[in-house]
Amino acid sequence: MTPEPHSLTGPDDLTLDPPPGCPAHGIGPGGLHRLYEAEDLEALYEKLRAQHGPVAPVLLHDDVPMWVVLGHTENLHMVRTPSQYTRDSRIWTPLKDGMVKPDHPLMPHIAWQPICSHAEGDEHKRLRGAVTGAMSTIDHRGLRRHIGRSSQRLVNRFCEDGRADLVDQFAEHLPMAVMCEVLGMPEEYNDRIVQAARDMLKGTETAIASNEYIMGCLLRLAARRRARPEEDFTSHLINHPARLTDDEIGQHLRVVLIAAYEATANLLANVLRRVLTEPGFRAQLNGGQMTVPEAVEQSLWDEPPFGTVLGYFAKQETELGGQRIRKGDGLLFGIAPGNVDPRVRPDLSADMQGNRSHLAFGGGPHECPGQDIGRAIADVGVDALLMRLPDVQLDCDEEELRWTESIASRHLVELPVRFTPRPPQDVTAKPSHAPVPVPQQRVTWEVGTTPPKSASASSSEPPASPEQGGTPKPQPTATQQPEVAPAGAAGAGAARPEGAWQRFLRWWRGY
């Protein structure tokens, strides 16, 4: 039965909560489930789907009421209908009524900011236009080259050790190295900025200081590019006709950097974990039945970088998924539960190769503008790592892997691996254009005759000379073909160099 809307805007049930360990623990006022106390969000979402359908009532921290959208169709309708739903949290009833305190744990996700993802109407067009305009100037061919070089540098750090943690040493570093290059501040990339980004996202006691450090880097970058523009994202954002203010520039640089970093770090870790723990998945990659981009898309379906996004807010009284939504109600954009909606995926084991209708990058006016960058980092990074370390294996039992989980995302803590130690590679070397030496042609075989030994054939003992009592080497008979001299051999009558077509025929015929 659909709960009364009052249960969403101000719970009236004052029944004492059950103690921890009780089977009813996690149930709050009105019998609603507390998302923040759930040990298994995936299982809870399926339970809610069975009880309430594609839209279900839940409780956030401090028992703040919220709707979670579980259906694929319902999620798409919500994000694509700005006339009914907005990302401006200032109309959220619990916030206006004082239920959501300034120190609420989810306030960094919910609080309104002067950025395109929270704006609407003409203001959204102005801010979003500046971001997408700057994105459109990125050279994606050059970007993929930089991703490849950054991947090789990271692998060089641990390739001689034979062991590594692919979360701490690869997945959490590659996106930051690439995004610093995209924004125009490659000199700022180091271990400190990676640690600051991770600390800020974890919401630790030092998160404020970490945020200040990152904002300091971005504001220094903006000041440099105002004085001397270059061909990078920041310069184009500053010089866009929308004329963003200094504060708008800083806020949007922060959103682009952190959103791309967190999403892509999770995506990289998820794809690599699946390659290492699912033999069938890896066999498809090795056998050519699946490309790395297809593996990335499959991961975006099964393990999206963000499980939910907080949040959307009803601008008027409406209906969604059979539920009555009041003006001012808040809704969670349910990416993970929407991706496994049985109405669009009746068989979760079926491959989703070539299907990009997942919710991982959102949709509608606020669809992620940098999704192509995230895909490129994952595609090139995973491919480069597996090429360098083809025998990489998980260095622990799969059951020992640990995650940190929140309402918004699920982050793999570590991914220990082992492999055959290998020497570092020179990532600055350019491809060589030197001609490839043509292998010596094989002697033509004649039926019924013994083929002559090649001069280059290995032997345990040198041939005996006539002085040593040996038999002189016989000359080729009419039925024996003389050995063909290597291409390019010196001497009179040497054949002219072979062309590409002749070299291809040699290779094709096994010469």
pLDDT at position 312, please? 97
β-sheet bridge partners, residue 332: 68, 310
Residue 476 has pLDDT above 90, yes or no: no
pLDDT(452) > 90: no
**Element at 59 (helix H, strand E):** strand 55-60
Tens digit of each residue's pLDDT (9 = 90 or more) over 374-387: 999 999 999 999 99
Write down the pLDDT at residue 284. Answer: 86
Beta carbons of 421 and 160 less than 8 angstroms apart: yes
Longest CA pairwise span in the chain (Å): 113
pLDDT at 422 over 70: yes
CB 281 within 8 A of CB 274: yes
- Collapsing DSSP to helix, strand or coil, 418 comes out as strand
Let me know: does 73 contact 343? Beta carbons within 8 Å.
yes
- Helix segments in 314-370, DSSP class H: 335-339
Angle at 68 between CA 82 and CA 106, to 5 degrees: 90
Q: What is the mean pLDDT of residues 76-80?
A: 97
Least confident span in 26-35, 178-187, 316-325, 464-473? 464-473
pLDDT at residue 506, rounded to an integer:
57
Q: What is the per-residue pLDDT across 286-345, written as a single tens digit (0 to 9) for each?
A: 888 889 999 999 999 999 999 999 889 999 999 999 999 999 999 999 999 999 999 999
Alpha-carbon distance 290 to 292, whole Å?
7
Amino acid at position 40, single letter: D
Confidence of residue 240 (pLDDT cuts 50, 70, 90): very high
What the block records as the tokens of 252 is 């949007």
Q: What are the phi and psi torsion angles at 311 (to 5°)? A: -150, -175
What's the pLDDT score for residue 409? 87
Cβ atoms of 473 and 452 closer than 8 Å: no
Contact 443, 452 (CB under 8 A): yes
Q: What angle do CA 92, 94, 96 make, to 5 degrees?
A: 70
Local structure of residue 36 (DSSP, 8 states): G
What gap in Å lies between CA 110 and CA 28, rounded to an integer? 22
> Taking residues 237-259, what's their average pLDDT?
94
pLDDT range class, residue 429, cuts 50, 70, 90: low
Amino acid at site 292: V
User: What backbone torsions phi and psi does residue 401 show, to the nearest 5 degrees?
Assistant: -65, 140
Q: If we measure between CA atoms, which residue out of 49, 91, 95 comes closest to residue 338?
A: 49
How many Å apart are CA 456 and CA 340, to the nearest integer?
A: 63
DSSP 480: S
Mean pLDDT across the chain: 83
Q: What are phi and psi of 408, to 5 degrees?
A: -80, -40
Structure tokens that stand for 293 in this block: 């981009």
The answer to whether 183 and 219 have CB atoms below 8 angstroms apart is no
| pLDDT at residue number 507 | 56
Whole-angstrom distance, CA of residue 352 vs CA of residue 340: 12
SS3 385: helix
DSSP 35: G
Would you state the pLDDT for residue 224? 95
pTM check: above 0.85: no
> Which of 101, 280, 107, 134 shows the shortest CA–CA distance to 203?
107
